[in-house]
């Protein structure tokens, strides 16, 4: 899984974008940030804290979509592999950069990178600033139903204690939903841009029998700790009220 993710994160389709000039990155009034971004020969040598500053302003006030694409392989690596940057902010910036109008190969490689990284995250994901809820939000922000189905199918395929902990984190991150009216939806904190039909697919998956849930019921996975058990109990009670 790790090797597949590293290969996908190379994002070869973006290697042709030229390094932005300092002037192009200082249009938003941040000369010091443009200096930090352009003084390194390779974007992979830029410090994560510098990229965190850039990501907050990318496309909207610092640089354009072409500059963002130049840095995207590094941003994706720091976000998906290292867990050092917010995947919610990254996905929102990709969307803001008119992702759906990108070249087909660029779109495909971004999707492949997200899916490969998601699979790896489910099996590990320790030390990440992003939780499973953040990942689901990112998928709902960027992708259509087919990719949402693939994301959920992947969760059904990665059966491990760590994946179950991520499931508990998802419950914890959506307490309003599980204590509220499930017909009212919303999972995502970026619901202005999220796929409503994709969110409904997540709801259907939860109302069904997620395999990660089934595995812990029959003892395939060790009993979770007290904190995780609390959130799994919330999910169990919610399922009892389901019409399915």
Same domain, 85 and 193: no
Distance in angstroms (rounded) separating the CA atoms of residues 157 and 160: 9
Same domain, 95 and 135: no
Same domain, 147 and 76: no
Residue 53's domain comprises 1-100
- For 62, phi and psi rounded to 5 degrees? -125, 110
Q: Is 182 helix (H, G, I), strand (E, B) or coil?
A: helix
Backbone torsion region of residue 126, taken as left when φ is above 0, otherwise alpha when ψ lies between -120 and 50, otherwise beta: beta
**Cβ contacts of 226 within 8 Å, gap of 6 or more:** none
Same domain, 147 and 231: yes
Q: What is the pLDDT of residues 175-196, one digit of tens each?
A: 878 876 555 445 554 455 567 7
Q: Is 44 exposed, middle or buried (0-12, 13-18, 19+ CB in 10 A)?
A: exposed
Same domain, 78 and 164: no
In a domain, 119, yes or no: no
Q: Which of 27, 14, 16 is nearest to 57 (CA)?
A: 27
Same domain, 204 and 243: yes
Q: Which of 182, 178, 89, 74 is nearest to 130 (CA)?
A: 89
> Six-digit token pair at 231?
């959130």
Predicted confidence pLDDT, tens digits, the chain (244 residues): 588 999 999 999 999 999 999 888 876 556 788 888 988 889 999 999 999 999 999 999 899 999 999 999 999 999 999 899 999 999 999 999 999 999 999 999 999 999 999 999 999 867 788 999 999 999 999 999 999 999 999 999 999 889 999 999 999 988 878 876 555 445 554 455 567 788 889 988 998 889 998 888 767 777 667 888 899 999 998 888 765 4
Total domain count, the chain: 2
Same domain, 150 and 86: no
Same domain, 139 and 185: yes
């Amino acid at each position: 899984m790790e090797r597949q993710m590293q290969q996908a994160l190379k994002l070869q389709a973006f290697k042709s974008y030229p390094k932005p000039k300092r002037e192009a990155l200082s249009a938003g009034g941040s000369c010091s940030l443009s200096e930090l971004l352009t003084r390194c020969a390779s974007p992979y040598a830029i410090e994560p804290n510098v990229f965190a500053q850039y990501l907050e302003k990318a496309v909207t006030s610092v640089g354009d979509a072409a500059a963002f694409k130049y840095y995207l392989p590094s941003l994706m690596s720091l976000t998906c592999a290292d867990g050092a940057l917010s995947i919610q902010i990254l996905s929102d910036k990709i969307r803001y950069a008119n992702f759906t109008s990108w070249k087909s190969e660029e779109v495909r490689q971004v999707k492949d990178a997200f899916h490969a990284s998601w699979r790896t995250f489910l099996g590990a994901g320790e030390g990440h600033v992003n939780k499973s809820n953040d990942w689901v939000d990112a998928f709902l922000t960027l992708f259509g139903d087919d990719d949402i189905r693939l994301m959920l199918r992947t969760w059904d395929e990665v059966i491990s204690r760590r994946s179950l902990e991520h499931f508990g984190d998802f419950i914890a991150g959506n307490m309003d939903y599980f204590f509220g009216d499930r017909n009212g939806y919303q999972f995502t904190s970026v619901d202005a841009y999220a796929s409503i039909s994709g969110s409904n697919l997540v709801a259907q998956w939860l109302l069904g029998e997620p395999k990660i849930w089934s595995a812990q019921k029959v003892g395939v996975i060790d009993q979770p700790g007290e904190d995780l058990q609390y959130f799994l109990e919330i999910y169990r009670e919610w399922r009892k009220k389901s019409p399915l």
